A = this chain, B = another copy of it.
């Protein structure tokens, strides 16, 4: 009886909640997971500490962090001297593309993930985007991801040699509450994750940026205790 062949996957792990669950899904699907994070000059650099903890807890075999200096370009509240909005209402969060949008970020991250997949011979890349709660971010939607898959097939050695490169976005159609419940079922330790766009130097979440508010509401809707300590919780708008 032959053993099943283990397949490797590259899993984007930001340190946030979604990518932790995406990593757990990849593990549950039987992939040998190579976690990939980015030091991109993000204001919330603490998330890299969280990413390392998540990769270890969920069980990646390897965790690499690639530096890409997006501060040289700027254009976002996360990579330039632009204030992170706080205390916005649910309607405000849901409308339009926020200033925390980082130009072409997932395009850049997926390109580097595709390079990494090519080097280790993986055909699968997991990204924890979801289009439901973050409808404002255009690079969290499936048509964009399909276009990146096509570019990867045409523009890489692996692609032209006939490998299929699959960019998997298992959370794309799930709400934050559904993602939290799924992660809980896989034993993801959410206390290790960090969602805040503007944490304290020690990594304490602000509780008032869009990302904190979406997280707080997600746990509430899921009926699961949020293990996060917030400096100040809730909207004030």
A residues apposed to B, CB below 8 Å: 64-70, 72-75, 97, 101-108, 110-112, 114-116, 118-119, 138-139, 141, 143-144, 147-148, 150-152, 154-160
Contacts and interface: CB of A to CB of B under 8 A. Distances in A.
A29 B110 CA distance: 32
Contacts of A159: 138
Given A104-B115, A115-B75, A138 B150 contact: no
A187 B14 CA distance: 47
A158 B177 CA distance: 30
Contact of A147 (B65, B103, B154): B154
Contact of A114 (B107, B112, B157): B107
The complex is assembled from copies of this chain, and their number is 2
A67 to B, nearest CB: 4
B155 A148 contact: yes
Contacts of A116: 73, 103
A68 B65 contact: no
A200 to B, nearest CB: 27
B147 A155 contact: yes
Most B CB contacts (10 A, CB to CB) among A74, A103, A152 go to: A103
Contact of A67 (B68, B74, B119): B68
A148 to B, nearest CB: 5
Contact of A66 (B72, B107, B157): B72
B154 A151 contact: no
Contacts of A118: 75, 103-104
Given A75-B118, A102-B115, A104-B112, 13 more contacts: A64-B72, A66-B69, A66-B70, A67-B69, A67-B72, A73-B112, A97-B157, A103-B114, A107-B151, A138-B160, A147-B147, A147-B154, A151-B151
A160 to B, nearest CB: 5
Nearest to A80: B119
